[in-house]
Structure 1
């Protein structure tokens, strides 16, 4: 089958601009490489390769700092990079800067020998990814229209999550099968091989963006834009700005979702299960996201954004609470799966609604409010559950339920629908 015919069939299947699909594949590639490091870095820190001063900290604490630093720096810099991409009107340039930084830092791990060097490298990676996320989401938003924005966001998030989910599975295999003997007789450790794979993934993503992505003609520089985020609604019809409200809801949702990750020993002990079951339960959320992001995104283009966002936040309440009380591994997996459905109902429609509200040249800054908030939630969730589980197994999940309830109330009372009528079925084209 000719490549052009195959591409046309794929485009028809997903019904998106070909540049959105290319960007989604690029994000899938860098997602594989970046998520590789979630598995590899803790193993690398615990190996004999890394030494140096520990600053009085335990090894586990250093691992936590290295992993969480990425999320906090990434989220903190997103409003700044999003606004800068608005000012310049150059989405592609910012994505390439971030991917280049990611490729260089992935390779730098090969030469790292101390804990301090790992902290520095991971911090630089967080800043690099902060260039990628707001510009990517803004680009998808600007390539879409009101009638297909949800579907475009859904496709983009689906492929990104596929990459993020596949990376950790492959990473463990690459490390465990090392060392590798090269044709010339040289050997490469499993760790170095994993870093080379992550570097290659970032380079592949860079090439895909370079060759296949162009900024839309409608993207204009907004040099007069400031760095402020509206908290209160300027129209006076609501108390809070709708995009700020969606950001707060995204923060609460991500925190509730991420509570699960830190307390693996307590979960396994309570349910009498091993690591395999925990892995399946952890993956349940991602599986639901991958399967439902695109169809829910399409549906919100036709039936409206708000019903899905409100419904997802409401569904998040029982699916979070029940995790503190489930008696079996199977019911915990089911709870995580339902929680994933709730997340899928919120994320793509929320991005689409924020995109509807973003003015010309504001996509980077407006949508970065949501991506920043989600990133902070993913970082805060594990810290919260680690602190709260000492008060009882259910305590972290009760905390997450309270946040989900507050988020649902905020969305229900402060966010209005942006689609006035049923949107037409989008026509697939190049632009």
Structure 2
């Protein structure tokens, strides 16, 4: 009788180590969510960027990361499929992150910030697609939701801790260090972000290995948009990607309008970081639970419930007038988003064809990054019409996502593998 490996009976240990490594990386990267808007508004940045207003520049610089990541992920996913190596591409992305995170310390203009942000986007494309393909490939259909939930939960814990740490560092700088001398809170944040990415690379190098049965794939990249079924128009993986896009759109509405949010709620950077992290914390806690339940009860029902809940919750964020109200709303948004995210990734993994996991899963991860990017762009622009407008748009998009999932993802969709 063949001995079952850990992926067939529970959470694969490689998923745990990879999640822990990505936790450190995500913590460093999320430092920048709070720091960058403040850095752009500080005296450290000079010059002109097409005469645009600061809030729109902030939205563009935050959003370009997701834009670059989104459009490069299908290609990096395909590269890892073709090479048959996931670990190598994860390491490559983390090394680029290390240098890019530290390079912010030397960026003194909008153009340099744009260049560094672009490098980060490329690094993320290598890391995200290879990581998720690895998680999917060491899982079975009965454990994929649980593995995806655990992996994302670790990563999101880091992503949630980062803003808390960066808000604290910026408010309490400058710092006097031996040999180096005095540094401000911005430089301290960038240095820690770089160190976190380097720590992640070390963890992946020593504790993560490629799936046992992975082989180089010579198949052409096969990303489907339209469905072959007669009763649907969109391919189910593409439909799941659209649901993920509208879910992640709501994630990034707050960051570009940090200064306006702080004024509206009469608060400082640290309280803003608590509000930002409330969503991530709730998402991190809920995802493993929802992922495991989706293994047992099905994926689609959780995605639909999550999108239904997101519609009123995102809208309420635009009506808040007190910090505790925003923290509560963001926490509820995180729980709702968990119902969409983990089951969508797991279902996409169920449907991905052998030798195509990197490229086909990249459709969903690309959509996540594109949603983050679009949310930043739209929020930075739409807030000029009133504080509620970015959140109203996010609520409407969640409703559109609900319609897409209900009509384009069949109830009894089966694995293609």
Q: Which TM bucket (shorter chain)? A: 0.7 to 0.9
Q: Give the Å deviation of 1:76.
A: 1.5
Cα separation, 2, equivalents of 1:322 and 1:42: 23
How far apart, CA to CA, are the structure 2 residues paired with 1:267 and 1:106? 26
Question: Could you give the per-residue CA deviations for residues 360-384 of structure 1, whole angstroms, max 9, x where no partner exists?
Answer: 1111111111111111111212332
1:388 paired with 2:406, answer no
Counterpart mapping for 1:408-419 below 5 A: 408-417=402-411
* Separation in 1, partners of 2:175, 2:258: 29
Find the aligned partners of 1:339 and 1:357 in 2 and give their Cα distance: 27
CA deviation digits over 1:21-40, x for unaligned, max 9? Answer: 00001100111111122333
Does structure 1 conserve the Cα–Cα contact (< 8 Å) formed by 2:55 and 2:381? no
Q: CA RMSD in A?
A: 2.8
- Counterpart of 2:125 in 1: which secondary structure? helix
Return the TM-score normalized by structure 1: 0.85
1:93 matched to which residue of 2? 88
Answering whether residue 344 of structure 2 is matched by residue 367 of structure 1, we say no
Q: Compared with structure 1, are the counterparts of its residues 402 and 67 closer, same or farther at alpha carbon in structure 2 (3 Å cutoff)?
A: closer
Does residue 313 in structure 1 map to residue 307 in structure 2? yes
Q: 1:233 to 1:94 in 2, by over 3 A?
A: same
Residue matched to 2:334: 340
State the Cα deviation string for residues 396-418 of structure 1 (Å, max 9, x = none).
33322221111111111211346
Listed one character per residue, the Cα deviations across residues 323-362 of structure 1 (whole Å, up to 9, x for unaligned) are 3445765444433322211101010010000000001111
Alpha carbons 2:314, 2:333 under 8 Å: kept: yes
Q: Which residue of 2 aligns with 1:378?
A: 372
- Higher Cα Rg: structure 1 or 2? 1
Q: How does 1:58-73 map to 2 (within 5 A)?
A: 61-73=56-68
Instruction: Decide whether the 8 Å contact of 1:146 with 1:301 is kept in 2.
Output: yes
Name the CA distance, whole Å, in 1 between partners of 2:306 and 2:67: 26
- Any idea what SS the aligned residue of 1:120 has? helix
Q: Secondary structure at the match of 2:371?
A: helix
Q: How many residues align?
A: 406
Among residues 130, 146, 151, which one is paired with 2:141 in the alignment? 146
Structure 1 equivalent of residue 246 of structure 2: 252
TM (norm. structure 2) is 0.88
Give the alignment partner of residue 116 of structure 1, picking from 111, 115, 129.
Answer: 111
Deviation at residue 100 of structure 1 after TM alignment:
1.2
1:293 corresponds to = 287
Report if the CA contact (8 A) 1:87-1:225 is conserved. no
In 2: Cα distance, 1:250 partner to 1:131 partner: 19
Q: Deviations over 1:155-174 (max 9, x none)?
A: 11111111111112212333
Task: Tell me what 2:100 maps to.
Answer: 105
SS at match of 1:100: helix
1:391-402 equivalences under 5 Å are 391-402=385-396
Q: Distance in 2 between matches of 1:267 and 1:59?
A: 15
Indicate the residue corresponding to 1:78 in structure 2: 73
- The match for 1:404 among 398, 402, 410 is 398
Deviations 1:41-88 (A, max 9, x none): 344445555446655455555444332222211111111111221121
Q: Which residue matches 1:177? A: 173
Alignment of 1:38-53 (within 5 A): 38-51=33-46
- CA 1:331–1:21: 2 relative to 1, 3 Å: same
Change (3 A) 1:389 1:36: closer
Deviations 1:288-325 (A, max 9, x none): 10210111111111111111111111121222233344
> Which of these residues, 127, 152, 169, is aligned with residue 122 of structure 2?
127
Q: State how far apart, in whole Å, the 1-side matches of 2:274 and 2:188 are.
A: 26
> Which has the larger displacement, 130-139 or 211-220?
211-220
For residues 395 and 56 of structure 1, the distance between their equivalents in structure 2, rounded to whole angstroms, comes to 23
Please, which moves more after superposition, 131-140 or 49-58?
Answer: 49-58
> Residues 124, 330 of structure 1: CA spacing in aligned structure 2 closer, same or farther, 3 A cutoff?
closer
1:144 positional shift: 0.8
CA distance in 1, matches of 2:125, 2:295: 28
Aligned positions of 1:202-351 closer than 5 A:
202-226=197-221, 229-264=223-258, 273-275=266-268, 278-325=272-319, 330-351=324-345
Matched residue SS, 1:346: helix
The answer on whether the counterparts of 1:141 and 1:149 sit within 8 Å (CA) in structure 2 is yes
CA contact (8 A) 1:86 1:221 kept: yes
- The separation in 2 between residues aligned to 1:107 and 1:234, in whole angstroms, is 47
Verify: 1:200 aligned to 2:195, yes or no. yes
Mapping for residues 160-175 of structure 1, pairs under 5 Å: 160-175=155-170
CA distance in 2, matches of 1:154, 1:322: 27
